[in-house]
Each structure stands twice: as C-alpha cells, then as structure tokens.
C-alpha cells in the first residue's frame, strides 16, 4: 500500500511539473517575442509566466493528500 501511495504522489508531482514546464516554455518564448516589440508589457508577462506554477502547486497538494490517506 505504501508503495502505491508513493507512486501516486510521485505521479501527481511529476506530471504536474512537466505540464508546468511545458506551459512556461511556451509562454516564455511568446513573452520574449512580445517584449521585444513592446518592452513596456514586461510586468504583465512576468505574471503570465508565473501562472502555470498553480498547476504544480495543485499537484503538490494532491500528492500530500495521497500520502496522508489512511
């Protein structure tokens, strides 16, 4: 049972980390392009770049819930 829990938690963290990385890479390149044309939008771009972090936070929460299950 402990092994399955650990595996579930690892998958929750791992998959959400990959999803975050993928989303941030796409947003990052588009943000770089947009800022090259309009440097004044830098602030908005930082916020947009940080948004996918919520995916891994949710993954982390789910991993804790799995580990804490009885």
Partner 1 sequence: MPSDYGYINARIRGQHSRLMKQGAYEELLALPGFLPMEKWMESSPYSRQWQLARARYQGLEALEWSLEKNFCQTTELLLKIAEGRPHHLIAIILRRWDLSNLIAVARGIHGGWSSAEILKSVLPAGSISEVKLQELASQPDLAGLADTLYTWGDDFYQPFKQALEEYQKEKDLAPVELELYKYYYSQVFKKLPLWGGDSDSLKGLFQREIDILNVKALKRLKEKKDLKPESIPEYFIPGGTLLSRETFIRFFDRKEGPKVLASLKWSPYYGYLSGKGSDQRTEENLEQEHFRELSKLYQGNPLGIDLVLGFLWQKYYEVINLRLVARGKFYGISGDQIRDQLLLW
Query: Which CB atom, from 45 or from 63, has the smaller least distance to partner 1?
Result: 45
Q: CB-wise, 11 or 34, nearer to partner 1?
A: 34
Q: What is the dihedral of CA 51, 56, 58, 61, to 10 degrees?
A: -140
In angstroms, what is the minimal distance from the CB of 16 to partner 1?
21
State the number of CA atoms in the 13 A half-sphere of 27 facing the CB.
17
Q: How far is the CB of 32 from partner 1 (least distance, A)?
A: 6
Whose tokens are 């982390």? That residue is 60
Residues near partner 1, by CB under 8 A: 26-27, 29-34, 36-38
């Amino acid at each position: 049972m402990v092994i399955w829990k650990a595996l579930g938690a690892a998958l929750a963290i791992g998959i959400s980390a990959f999803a975050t990385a993928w989303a941030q890479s796409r947003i990052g390149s588009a943000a770089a392009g947009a800022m090259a044309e309009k440097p004044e939008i830098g602030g908005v771009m930082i916020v947009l770049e940080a948004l996918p972090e919520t995916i891994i936070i949710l993954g982390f929460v789910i991993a804790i819930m799995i580990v804490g299950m009885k």
